[in-house]
Amino acid sequence: MITVEYRDVEDMFNQAKLLVGMMAGEPVAPVTTITQVSAAPTTASTPPPAGPAPVVTPAANPAEPEVKSYTVEEVRAALSALSKAGKKAEVKAILESVGVSKLSDVQPEDYAAVMQKAGAV
């Protein structure tokens, strides 16, 4: 059994995106730090050891800022969540900021900008 603890929801979301990217064959930054809690196996009658969960820190490359590539499905989900939260005017403003009036007209090279603006709302 593997148990994973996350610092917060954003950490969990980032790790999930990393795993999805790995499954899709996208390049992944090498891991530079792993902190292991305990190598001792646990049984059903023994509770897992207390303490911090393993922390994985991706290697940073300051020369190349990482630009995440998004799919239209990811962009649609983010904008849909904003719309359902009553922020339809903000969604419209985001689309207009990239020069379109509907999601299907957004160019793939603009997905990152749309996601960044959606995250700021």
Name which residue leads in pLDDT, 53 or 30.
Answer: 53
Residue at 21 is within a domain: yes
Q: How confident is the model at residue 18 (pLDDT cuts 50, 70, 90)?
A: confident
Q: Between the CA of residue 74 and those of 26, 51, 53, 115, 121, what are the distances in Å?
A: 16, 34, 29, 9, 16
Could you tell me the sign of the dihedral formed by the alpha carbons of 5, 11, 17, 22, in that order? negative
In the chain, which residue ranges form alpha helices assigned H by DSSP? 9-23, 72-84, 88-97, 111-120
52 and 88 co-located in one domain: no
Residue 19 near residue 26 (C-beta atoms within 8 A): no
Q: Number of structural domains, the chain?
A: 2
What are 33's strand-pairing partners? Answer: 57
Are residue 53 and residue 91 in the same domain, yes or no? no
Across residues 61-82, what is the average pLDDT?
82
2 in any annotated domain: no
Q: What's the whole-model pTM score?
A: 0.47
Instruction: Identify whether residues 50 and 78 lie together within a single domain.
Output: no
pLDDT score for 93: 95
Domain that holds residue 47: 9-58
